[in-house]
Amino acid sequence: MTEADSPSAVTVVVHPVFRQAVLLIVAALVLIPLIATALGGFKTLGSLRVDPFGLPAHWEWRNYWDILAGARYWRQMGNSLVIATLTVVLTVTVSAMAAFVFVHVRFFGSGFLLNYLLLGLLFPAATAILPLFIKIRDLGLLDTYWGVVLPQVAFGLASSILLFRNYFRGLPDDLFEAALIDGCGYFGFFRHIVLPLSRPILATVAVITFVHSWNGYLLPLVVLNRDALYPWPLGIMAFQGEFSTDWHLILAFITLTILPAIAIFFAAQRHIVAGLTSGSLKG
């Protein structure tokens, strides 16, 4: 296939060599810090100082091995996984239910309540962080998973409800009438017809929510003080604080921590790219 027989969508006629050169340079700028990080974890501190770019003269597997053999790494990944999973399950359930009501049940004040919830799209979360801290403390939820999970769910509701509502509205009305005639109540309709038809949007909301929770920093930073409960962003900052100039260890720790995310990203790239961008396109 040549350029000529596929009239390009954008037709900014750029020379292919120029295009490749630009793309390669940008790709290098993106990848070099990441590759140097992974390789740096295989070096000794001394060889890192001499040559932070190249392949290690001697592969120091110990850096990685010691981290994997210790409890610290697994504990922080486990904490993140628990928090993110709880957040996803709750966000999806609560917002799908709410969106279903807004689409299928007519009641007085429906529009007002929807707009009230969608206000959440505009609010900068950091504004609420101090009052939220007080509230979580008064509820006795400081230093618990729920102290992180519940606010994360609450702040994710607005965009999730909007995504679900837009999707549910696209489902044909006939389905609903047919279900009612067949004696299927609202709940049965929701459970047996709407949810099974909504896999794509469930996946989208789950991806967005999971990534946000997995990467989240400010909320756990304020709510959690015991390092036994630290999710990985807090754990890795603490690790960096302790080993401040032992960069070879820190780099190994960073590499192992981001590896699952990168692996999942490449495995499920299509869903993740679509999910993370569609959330904002429709929001």
CB of 7 to another protein, least distance (A): 6
- Using an 8 Å Cβ cutoff, are 224 and 143 in contact? yes
Would you say 88 or 236 has its CB closer to another protein?
A: 236
**Scanning the structure block, which residue is given the tokens 């592969």?**
59
Closer to another protein at the Cβ: 69 or 273?
A: 273
131 CB-near residues (< 8 Å, 6+ apart): none
- Tokens found for residue 174: 């006939």
- Cβ nearer to another protein, comparing 42 with 155: 155
Nearest to another protein of 128, 171 (CB atom): 128
- For another protein, the closer of residues 179 and 254 by Cβ is 254
Q: Least distance (Å) from another protein to the CB of residue 19?
A: 5
Least gap, CB of 170 to another protein (angstroms): 19
Cβ closest to another protein, residue 6 vs residue 183: 6
* Residue 14: CB minimum distance to another protein, A: 7
The separation between CA 227 and the C-alpha centre of its own chain, rounded to angstroms, equals: 22
- Residue found under tokens 């007519």: 106
Half-sphere exposure of 87 (CA within 13 A, CB side): 32
d(CA 52, CA 9): 42
As measured in angstroms, the least distance from the Cβ of 78 to another protein is 17
CB 203 within 8 A of CB 273: no
- Smallest distance from the beta carbon of 65 to another protein, in angstroms? 21
- Cα 163 versus chain centre, distance: 16
Which residue type is seen at 63?
A: N
Please check whether residue 180 is in contact with residue 189, taking contact to mean a CB–CB distance below 8 angstroms. Answer: yes
